[in-house]
Amino acid sequence: MSIGRNRTAYIAYGFDDIALVPAAETIDPDDVDVRLRIGNVELEIPILASAMDAAVDVRLAILMSQLGGLAVLNLEGLQTRYESPEEVIERIVEAPQEEVVKVLQEVYREPIKEELVYERVRAIKAAGAKVGVASTPLQAQRLLPVAVNAGADVAVIQSTVTTVRFVSTRRQPLDWKAIRETIDTPLIVGNCVTYEAAIELMRAGADGVLVGVGPGAACTTRQVIGVGVPQVTAIADVAAAREDFLERTGRYVIVIADGGMRTGGDIAKAIAAGADGVMIGSPIASADEAPGKGYHWGMAAPHPGLPRGTRVKITYRAPLETILHGPARTDDGTQNLVGALKLSMATCGARNIREMQKVQIVVAPAIQSEGKLLQRQQSKAAS
Amino acid sequence: MSIGRNRTAYIAYGFDDIALVPAAETIDPDDVDVRLRIGNVELEIPILASAMDAAVDVRLAILMSQLGGLAVLNLEGLQTRYESPEEVIERIVEAPQEEVVKVLQEVYREPIKEELVYERVRAIKAAGAKVGVASTPLQAQRLLPVAVNAGADVAVIQSTVTTVRFVSTRRQPLDWKAIRETIDTPLIVGNCVTYEAAIELMRAGADGVLVGVGPGAACTTRQVIGVGVPQVTAIADVAAAREDFLERTGRYVIVIADGGMRTGGDIAKAIAAGADGVMIGSPIASADEAPGKGYHWGMAAPHPGLPRGTRVKITYRAPLETILHGPARTDDGTQNLVGALKLSMATCGARNIREMQKVQIVVAPAIQSEGKLLQRQQSKAAS
Amino acid sequence: MSIGRNRTAYIAYGFDDIALVPAAETIDPDDVDVRLRIGNVELEIPILASAMDAAVDVRLAILMSQLGGLAVLNLEGLQTRYESPEEVIERIVEAPQEEVVKVLQEVYREPIKEELVYERVRAIKAAGAKVGVASTPLQAQRLLPVAVNAGADVAVIQSTVTTVRFVSTRRQPLDWKAIRETIDTPLIVGNCVTYEAAIELMRAGADGVLVGVGPGAACTTRQVIGVGVPQVTAIADVAAAREDFLERTGRYVIVIADGGMRTGGDIAKAIAAGADGVMIGSPIASADEAPGKGYHWGMAAPHPGLPRGTRVKITYRAPLETILHGPARTDDGTQNLVGALKLSMATCGARNIREMQKVQIVVAPAIQSEGKLLQRQQSKAAS
Amino acid sequence: MSIGRNRTAYIAYGFDDIALVPAAETIDPDDVDVRLRIGNVELEIPILASAMDAAVDVRLAILMSQLGGLAVLNLEGLQTRYESPEEVIERIVEAPQEEVVKVLQEVYREPIKEELVYERVRAIKAAGAKVGVASTPLQAQRLLPVAVNAGADVAVIQSTVTTVRFVSTRRQPLDWKAIRETIDTPLIVGNCVTYEAAIELMRAGADGVLVGVGPGAACTTRQVIGVGVPQVTAIADVAAAREDFLERTGRYVIVIADGGMRTGGDIAKAIAAGADGVMIGSPIASADEAPGKGYHWGMAAPHPGLPRGTRVKITYRAPLETILHGPARTDDGTQNLVGALKLSMATCGARNIREMQKVQIVVAPAIQSEGKLLQRQQSKAAS
């Protein structure tokens, strides 16, 4: 559509802009299959835990695997910089508000140790758990082989935006061919939000792509650099790349939605938009067992002159099992994510993830009018 | 419309997105006919009271009938689980906020007693009142015959989403043929939100269908499982099914809007969208005579692992007669619902419900800009 | 556009949805002509004061005329029911919040006295001022001749929605032919919001039509009966009727926007949408000289069972001259309405009202994102 | 599109309505070129400081030049009316809230002194800094030559809306030919928001045009006179004029976005919409070194009867270098504007400003639903 003379734009939709339409044939939720296959790795539930220091450490990764999902360990975070990351997290958590940015900037200056990379992965594998590991493109050739060597099941190369083509007069771009030859585990790469960028990552050998750049208006990436695409459209565009790539090559590259999801409804919408699975950070960080001890801090805009994400207090916490499998003790959709996904799929007539990717979507903005806000008090229970 | 490559969605509208256009020929409100016929049952007003425990008990049902409408008794609620449901409601109402979910989960574990089903309906009928009774598909074949036997005027089969086709490897779907043969009262089934699902329910023998699944963004169904369709579009689509079914079979199946209505304006819009009548919960629960004693609690997402709806305090209360027939003592549209509906119809030039289903609608979002919010204080009285 | 199967609606825009585009040729504001001609009555400024008891009494009407506009006296309000309306207003103003509706309902039960109708108009005329008088269709044949006899310059027949065709089995509709023959002053009729209704009023002999039914989402009419059309579209549609009627008959019927305007920007937009003038209530009631003594109360939904409008406290007040002609002492657009209108017209290159009706409009929603709300504090002065 | 019968409007988009799409080829931010050339004046960064008294004085102008940008000194502000403007600013800053408008109106009544115009520019040039100077069309022929004589590098003629064609029966319009012959520095003129107005200014000899009239709904211009066009569309339309003018004449007239920008994301979007550079007021006024001492006051609606802008307190302040070049100590996008712009360009695959003007834009409203607002607390760090 036109947004001015000679200037066009396409409209992008987010989770809050859509809803799913119940089908005329419904399924028994107990018959719904939500498994996710990443290369040779099969997960019972299509949920990955984000490579964030407040969300994933050794203990959480083991638990996540036991509950059917896959945690991704951040190879450039506190776990691989410090022998005892708990103490550092304690500092972050207890810093007065005005010093948080300074503390965060300081603790991440400690160098990454390859032996800690190896050790952390070994500890998780020793417990019989599956685990993913993540590095930025810059460190991928150095850190990923160490982690894979230690037994990591899935490798992830992730930065705010990762493209195959990177033009620089002073830095060497990532050698995709070399990395693909070195890493023999499934490789997930991201983030991306467009058909073109996604299909290039697929051609470069990715087994999965992460979708999500500045999905929401309040995202740091959107605020600071103005860049971002709402998730429903981004997922649909990347899913279209997956289908075209599948048709051309016979290879199925999974699409993982990353960012902007908090409730079971959000996860259901991500898959309905075309995703094969999701990667979530905040919901995992809100687990009682999460390393963040009730706090969450992001790593947006990793640019020397731009700030690291703020520390955010997490109000509601629950055991990870409750968050993933319930029973839910709240009605805001943040607990029993898997049960909610299954019920959503059952209601939409989808027996499995592939069928869920084709259910009917409706554009139905979640914007509240003033009147509605006032009347929620009386009518909330009525729906 | 496109929401991404190869992914389309239709736009759905809610009550707050539309308004009704006054006609060039107006009608005397006193000449407006708002009667609703459900099979052989004729109601003076097109309003049903939802089968919710905070809204309908024996006393409320009798009063509702006297005022021209029809209350639907929940056959799986507290009234049929407890000899003295008032005491249980007392527990719900007086539970501290943090224990409400637990109390709600506990009290609904008590088994349903068929003798109480019979007794409750008899008590209402003994007072000469009309009454509807509701069960879920799972309990329909067991409970509805008992209630019909006791004299219930209308049977309702209701769950969040009810479809004729239900696929399960472990559960028996509802035998629609058998139920239709057993129940000789009018049968209302729901909820549904699409043409396809509605027309299948009509073919299966429903005399009426309930429309409404996650109509609002704040609905539990929408939040928890991402499913829902705003009511105006849902009603219009189901009403189109009614018209097509009527043309093909000569049978007129009524469309009852259920959910998301609070004011006379909402009810007028539901009918203008195509409904024959409405079923309302919160407005009834706010009656002085309602069993909920100033509280309301829903039953959304009836899945073992998902929570029952929260308890909500109702701020404004009034006698049921005032709510339905006025005179209104507030100007927010929550009182004198029938008077408001008649005035709305008169203004839109509609003599009866069928004519109201065809009045001109305008898309006029009820979203308030900041400026408007600030100026309401001064200008509210001016419109 | 489609809002569901077989159901269409048109989109309507309000003042907050649009903005005016500056022209490539601008005009000296001092050269801009804003006169409004109502039949043989010429006003220096295109602003009428609404027939509301908090806005217009004898004193205000005289002042309004001196300032170039025209006040419309409500012939069915307190001024014509009570010898000393000030005392009654005192009661309204001093009633505790919980008794306001009761007091309002009570004081308007006092019968209208024809001698007071005559007296009030005479008092205004004795001061050499122009004045309009308003009655409902029901009382028009009784009250308007008395007021016209006393010298009223303009007659107004107004109700929430007034149509030429009114169908009733028990009430006599207004005899438009008779009224047109009795009243020899210019006659303004309303309200209406559509082409059809407007053109019928024009054919029935109206010299002007009032546009505005439930213009805003927060309007009582919209809330209570769901009826309303945002003003920009309503004005444009009625203005189209004016042009067609002019072409066919050679008679120019003025279009007066009524409702939803508070700032100079709103008034400018009303005229840009096609209006010849505006009728405003709240801005007049906020004058130091207004009878409402700092309060405002509306008369929406004049139905026996529906409430009269609430009493609203007016926070900011100023002399009427400041409100109309400045100099403005605030920057929110509520003062110097005429100066703002002239500057707006000058900026849009319009020399007079007829040219202003054709300036370029842009759809530019006034919806504030959260981010914008937060940043207003710092950036408000920057635009 | 139609907004009523026979009445059309185009849709205009603002910064909050869009986001930028990352490209499939990304650039090293250190390779990104953000220089702006204004005629023979080359700036390291494409940022001008607005001619506002709270933003620019001699000291700030020198600093702005040292940091790579260009400050524009208001030749009709306090700096050229008072020998010691600091004292006057002290009065503004310390006035109690209720007296601010009066104080502002009073202090701007002091006559402008040409010797002060000369002196201020000399002081800036003596420090080796570049500087722009701004006057209104009314004073341009008197003040600009003095300032240019004193060494000003860039001349600016600015009013809320400036057009080549101005029609008046009593005032002489600006003689564009004469001014163009007198001023031999680059000349920037504005503001404008349409193709037509912009191309006329280009033909009249402007080397740059300022884009921005009432860009936001909360702008004084929009509120008071209803006039305004959201910035993205305004910039795109004016940029189209630049391209057409370039093609026809071979002369490249720069487009400077003025107003509505607060974050690095806003600036990136302005350039993506088609601007060559930006002029910002509030962000500069929030510098520790700004003359406004923590306050900001605008000069909107410069009409004798309309108010001058309000005084606004600036909550967050930082050194100008931090605001422009970082490192950022907050994550809201208000610091390190240049670093953010470079990262945005790098992410969108733009090597320079001309390439940035062509990057892919997506319509992605920044409107927050209630749900989103509530969940921000937990999820903000996750994006």
Phi-psi region of C183 (alpha: psi -120 to 50; beta: other; left: phi over 0): beta
Enter the tokens of residue D67: 């940091």
Confidence band (pLDDT; 50, 70, 90) for A288? very high
pLDDT, tens digit (0-9, with 9 covering 90-100), for C58-109:
999 999 999 999 999 999 999 999 999 999 999 999 999 888 878 888 898 8
Beta bridge partners of C26: D166
Q: Is there a contact between A343 and B225 if contact means CB atoms under 8 Å apart?
A: yes
CA C253 to the chain's CA centroid: 16
C-alpha distances (whole Å) from D253 to each of A294, D36, D94, D269 are: 54, 12, 42, 20
Interface of B with C in 214-233 (CB under 8 A): 232-233
Mean pLDDT of B147-164: 97
State residue C68's pLDDT score.
98
- Look over chain C and give the mean of its residue pLDDT values, rounded to a whole number: 91
Q: Is B301 exposed, middle or buried (CB count within 10 Å of its CB: 0-12, 13-18, 19+)?
A: buried
How much of chain D exceeds pLDDT 70, in percent? 92
- Tell me chain D's radius of gyration from C-alpha atoms: 20
Alpha carbon distance C51, A87 (integer Å): 73
Mean pLDDT of B222-236: 95
C-alpha distances (whole Å) from A297 to each of A190, A285, C130, C287 are: 20, 9, 69, 53
pLDDT, tens digit (0-9, with 9 covering 90-100), for A135-178:
999 999 999 999 999 999 999 999 999 999 999 999 889 999 99
Catalytic residue among D219, D222, D242, D311: D219
Catalytic residue among D192, D308, D311, D348: D308
At a CB cut-off of 8 Å and minimum separation 6, what does A167 contact? A173, D25, D26, D27, D28, D31, D351
State residue C373's pLDDT score.
39
Domains of chain B: 11-371 (3.20.20.70)
State residue A316's pLDDT score.
82
Q: Is there a contact between C370 and A223 if contact means CB atoms under 8 Å apart?
A: no
Residue B383 has pLDDT above 50, yes or no: no
- Among the residue ranges A313-317, C10-14, D63-67, D130-134, the one predicted with the least confidence is A313-317
State residue C367's pLDDT score.
54
State residue D314's pLDDT score.
87
Mean pLDDT of A247-260: 96
State residue D329's pLDDT score.
81
Confidence band (pLDDT; 50, 70, 90) for B302? low
Confidence band (pLDDT; 50, 70, 90) for D97? confident
Residue C381 has pLDDT above 50, yes or no: no
Tokens 């976005």 correspond to what residue?
Answer: D257
Closest CA to A195 of A252, A234, A161: A234
Q: Is there a contact between A169 and D31 if contact means CB atoms under 8 Å apart?
A: yes
Q: Is there a contact between B363 and C1 if contact means CB atoms under 8 Å apart?
A: yes
Is C354 among the catalytic positions? Answer: no
Q: Name the residue type at position B195.
A: Y
How far the first Cα of chain B sits from its last, in Å, is 36
Which helix (DSSP H) or strand (DSSP E) does residue B180 occupy? helix B176-182
Is C308 among the catalytic positions? Answer: yes
Which helix (DSSP H) or strand (DSSP E) does residue C157 occupy? strand C154-158
Scanning every residue of chain C, which has its alpha carbon at the shortest distance from the alpha carbon of B324? C305
Q: How many residues does chain D have?
A: 383
Mean pLDDT of D181-193: 96
**C9 touches A at CB < 8 Å:** no
Alpha carbon distance C239, C233 (integer Å): 10
Alpha carbon distance D305, A26 (integer Å): 67
Mean pLDDT of C118-127: 98
Residue D379 has pLDDT above 70, yes or no: no
State the Cα torsion A326-A330-A331-A336 to the nearest 10°.
Answer: -20
Nearest CA of chain C to the CA of B137: how many Å? 28
Residue D349 has pLDDT above 80, yes or no: yes
Residue B126 has pLDDT above 60, yes or no: yes
How much of chain A exceeds pLDDT 90, in percent? 80
**D136 touches C at CB < 8 Å:** no
Confidence band (pLDDT; 50, 70, 90) for D303? low
pLDDT, tens digit (0-9, with 9 covering 90-100), for C357-375:
999 999 987 654 433 433 3
State residue B99's pLDDT score.
85
Alpha carbon distance B223, B169 (integer Å): 28
pLDDT, tens digit (0-9, with 9 covering 90-100), for C225-274:
999 999 999 999 999 999 999 999 999 999 999 988 999 999 999 999 99
Residue D351 has pLDDT above 90, yes or no: yes
Phi-psi region of B369 (alpha: psi -120 to 50; beta: other; left: phi over 0): beta
Confidence band (pLDDT; 50, 70, 90) for B2? very high
Confidence band (pLDDT; 50, 70, 90) for B374? very low
State residue A223's pLDDT score.
87
pLDDT, tens digit (0-9, with 9 covering 90-100), for D27-77:
999 999 999 999 999 999 999 999 999 999 999 999 999 999 999 999 999
pLDDT, tens digit (0-9, with 9 covering 90-100), for A185-213:
999 999 999 999 999 999 999 999 999 99
Mean pLDDT of A3-22: 94
| Helix, coil or strand: residue D297 | strand
Residue to substitute from C15, C21, C347, interface D, most D β-carbons within 10 A: C21
Confidence band (pLDDT; 50, 70, 90) for A314? confident
Confidence band (pLDDT; 50, 70, 90) for C303? low
Mean pLDDT of D292-308: 69
How crowded is residue C206: how many other Cβ atoms within 10 Å of its Cβ? 26
Judge whether A17 and A232 are in contact, CB under 8 Å: yes
Scanning every residue of chain A, which has its alpha carbon at the shortest distance from the alpha carbon of B197? A24
Q: Is there a contact between D7 and C239 if contact means CB atoms under 8 Å apart?
A: yes
Enter the tokens of residue D159: 């009013």
- Among the residue ranges A9-18, A286-295, B7-16, D301-310, the one predicted with the least confidence is D301-310
Alpha carbon distance C275, A278 (integer Å): 54
State residue C98's pLDDT score.
82
Point out the residue among A263, A347, A361 whose CB comes nearest to the CB of B3: A361
pTM for the predicted model, two decimal places: 0.94
Phi-psi region of B129 (alpha: psi -120 to 50; beta: other; left: phi over 0): beta
C-alpha distances (whole Å) from D110 to each of C95, D120, D298 are: 50, 17, 17
Scanning every residue of chain A, which has its alpha carbon at the shortest distance from the alpha carbon of B1? A363
| Chain C residues touching D219 at Cβ < 8 A | 383
Residue C297 has pLDDT above 50, yes or no: yes
Angle at B78 between CA B74 and CA B81, to 5 degrees: 105
Nearest CA of chain B to the CA of C144: how many Å? 23
Q: Does a cis peptide bond (omega within 30 degrees of 0) precede residue D327?
A: yes
At a CB cut-off of 8 Å and minimum separation 6, what does A172 contact? none
- Among the residue ranges A19-33, A295-309, B338-352, D157-171, the one predicted with the least confidence is A295-309
State residue B377's pLDDT score.
32
State residue D383's pLDDT score.
34
Residue B297 has pLDDT above 90, yes or no: no
Closest CA to D76 of D166, D181, D158: D158
Q: Is B248 exposed, middle or buried (CB count within 10 Å of its CB: 0-12, 13-18, 19+)?
A: exposed
CA B5 to the chain's CA centroid: 37
Point out the residue among C243, C327, C383 whose CB comes nearest to the CB of D298: C383
Mutual angle of helices B114-126 and B137-149, in 10-degree steps: 50
- Among the residue ranges A167-181, B36-50, B66-80, C307-321, the one predicted with the least confidence is C307-321
Closest CA to C220 of B70, B333, D187: B333
State residue C216's pLDDT score.
80
**A78 touches B at CB < 8 Å:** no
State residue B299's pLDDT score.
63
State residue A216's pLDDT score.
80
Confidence band (pLDDT; 50, 70, 90) for C223? confident
**A173 touches D at CB < 8 Å:** no
